[in-house]
């Protein structure tokens, strides 16, 4: 098994991206991206692929303690630099230190300031009344987190983003521990390095959105859940922590909480007997059932029921709205289109299109995701074919459940909504890389050609659908 990310893959990936960027720039010259979006993409794509190759080799012989220390330090430094850079970049581009089309960012910031005022005045009743009046709890967690920070820092935006960098860096350490437990130390190191260098995981540290905190909680929950499933002893403390983390996920995004508890239950039922005994299996199932009855009530139940009732129409409505506002082809998309490519989707925006600055800034990260999905899909296929999937049920159930929910939702094509799946996809990708032989490696070349065709086709689709070709 490979214990590092070979130059064979990294070099070909970088070259494919550069060629695609140049060809798209020439073919669609009248709509070519501004130079700074090119810089964003090239820097982050090269950083990921070249860095993954070099660091997976040079860090291979470090002790576990040294590796975790190096991983955290470098991840934190990269994220701090990007967070501070984006603060001034956004301010120069938009006139405020928030991302493009910053309605959500500004909304979270203002709500956080309100919560901070309530905390400082020792009067939480106005905000509690506001929460009670909402239709659900999905979005409550982040403003409260910001409010706690702001009550101490006076609403300092840079400190809030440096805290994001801290949480994101520690998330990489958690990915290492989670992957090591499932696939061994070498694969764990690769997965952690992938997460450390993944462009979109870095860039979100510089945006005032909930995704970084939500990702941290997701991976922390996953790491603790996997530990609980594999542990030979029952721990009341860990169980309580697990339930608290599960509750926090519902406060950030309802579907994440649903995916988390469903994956846990699936793992308890289907995990190999080598993973857990019958006694522990039934004991934890009882805990899971109690958790379901605890969390699946009141407004949360209504929110889930509403989503399920509208599962057949919410995507149709959303795509029809997108067709009116931008791409006329959007109305022809749907679950049948998204499902086959759900591990690879969404695709990058590499041309100038109206009001999509953030998509252009993130295009390098999407290219990385598109290319690395080859290894992810290969790994999942390998586990199924070799009948080893029962040893890793929780990870597989989590990512497949969450992506499955996205397929049926109005956000199957939303980059933000795909973000929670990325660490899991990179874990499977690292395992996929470790399985590569010369025979399988040849298929990577075909995948790169396929991706190049997709990038070209997607670019035409975006421009033609907007009537500018």
Asked if 79 contacts 116 with a C-beta cutoff of 8 angstroms, the reply is no
**Domain assignment of residue 184, yes or no:** yes
pLDDT of residue 214: 96
Is 183 exposed, middle or buried (CB count within 10 Å of its CB: 0-12, 13-18, 19+)? buried
pLDDT of residue 161: 98
**Domain assignment of residue 145, yes or no:** no
**Domain assignment of residue 244, yes or no:** yes
Q: What is the pTM of this model?
A: 0.93
**Domain assignment of residue 125, yes or no:** no
Gyration radius of the chain's alpha carbons:
22
Handedness of CA 231, 234, 238, 243 (dihedral sign): positive
All residue ranges of the chain with pLDDT < 50 are: none
pLDDT of residue 255: 85
**Domain assignment of residue 111, yes or no:** no
Q: How far is CA 261 from CA 17, 67, 258, in A?
A: 38, 31, 6
**Domain assignment of residue 138, yes or no:** no
Q: How many domains does the chain have?
A: 1
Name 351's bridge partners.
32
pLDDT of residue 336: 55
**Domain assignment of residue 147, yes or no:** no
Q: How far is CA 214 from CA 73, 145, 211, 419, in A?
A: 21, 11, 5, 10
**Domain assignment of residue 120, yes or no:** no
Spatial CB neighbours of 81, under 8 Å, sequence gap ≥ 6: none
Here the tokens at position 460 are 């035409």
Domain residues for the domain of 199 are 7-97+156-465
Instruction: Give the separation between CA 310 and CA 257, rounded to whole angstroms.
Output: 19
pLDDT of residue 131: 84
Query: Which pairs with CB-CB distance under 8 Å and at least 24 residues apart come from 35-43?
Result: 37/360, 37/361, 37/363, 40/360, 40/361, 40/363, 40/364, 41/17, 41/348, 41/350, 41/363, 41/364, 41/367, 42/18, 42/364, 43/364
Local structure of residue 312 (DSSP, 8 states): T
């Amino acid at each position: 098994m490979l214990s590092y990310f070979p130059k064979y893959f990294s070099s070909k990936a970088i070259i494919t991206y550069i060629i695609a960027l140049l060809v798209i720039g020439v073919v669609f010259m009248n709509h070519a991206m501004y130079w700074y979006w090119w810089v964003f993409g090239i820097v982050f794509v090269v950083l990921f692929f070249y860095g993954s190759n070099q660091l997976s080799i040079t860090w291979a012989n470090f002790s576990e303690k040294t590796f975790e220390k190096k991983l955290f330090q470098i991840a934190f430094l990269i994220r701090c630099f990007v967070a501070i850079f984006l603060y001034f970049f956004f301010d120069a581009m938009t006139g405020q230190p928030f991302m493009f089309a910053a309605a959500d960012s500004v909304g979270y910031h203002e709500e956080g300031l309100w919560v901070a005022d309530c905390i400082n005045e020792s009067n939480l009743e106005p905000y509690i009344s506001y929460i009670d009046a909402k239709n659900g709890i999905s979005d409550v967690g982040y403003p409260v987190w910001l409010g706690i920070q702001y009550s101490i820092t006076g609403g300092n935006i840079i400190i809030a983003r440096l805290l994001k960098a801290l949480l994101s860096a520690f998330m990489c350490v958690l990915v290492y521990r989670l992957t090591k437990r499932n696939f061994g130390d070498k694969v764990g190191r690769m997965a952690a390095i992938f997460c450390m260098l993944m462009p979109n995981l870095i860039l979100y540290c510089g945006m005032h959105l909930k995704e970084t905190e939500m990702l941290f909680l997701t991976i922390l929950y996953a790491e603790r859940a996997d530990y609980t499933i594999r542990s030979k002893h029952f721990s009341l403390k860990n169980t309580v922590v697990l339930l608290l983390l599960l509750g926090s996920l519902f406060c950030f995004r309802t579907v994440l909480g649903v995916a988390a508890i469903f994956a846990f239950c699936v793992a308890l039922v289907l995990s190999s007997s080598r993973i857990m005994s019958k006694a522990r299996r039934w004991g934890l199932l009882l805990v899971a059932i109690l958790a379901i009855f605890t969390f699946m009530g009141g407004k949360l139940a209504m929110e889930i029921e509403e989503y399920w009732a509208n599962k057949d129409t919410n995507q149709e409505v959303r795509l029809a709205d997108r067709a009116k506002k931008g791409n006329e082809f959007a109305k022809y998309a749907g679950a049948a289109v998204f499902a086959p490519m759900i591990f690879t989707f969404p695709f990058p925006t590499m041309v100038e299109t109206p009001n999509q600055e953030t998509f252009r800034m993130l295009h390098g990260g999407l290219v990385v995701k598109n290319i690395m999905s080859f290894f992810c899909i290969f790994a999942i296929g390998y586990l199924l074919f070799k009948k080893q999937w029962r040893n890793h049920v929780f990870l597989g159930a989590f990512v497949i459940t969450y992506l499955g929910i996205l397929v049926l939702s109005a956000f199957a094509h939303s980059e933000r909504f795909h973000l929670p799946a990325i660490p899991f996809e990179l874990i499977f990708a690292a395992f996929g890389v470790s399985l590569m032989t010369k025979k399988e490696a040849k298929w990577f070349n075909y995948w790169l050609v396929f991706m190049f065709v997709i990038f070209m086709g997607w670019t035409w689709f975006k421009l033609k659908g907007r009537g500018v070709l």
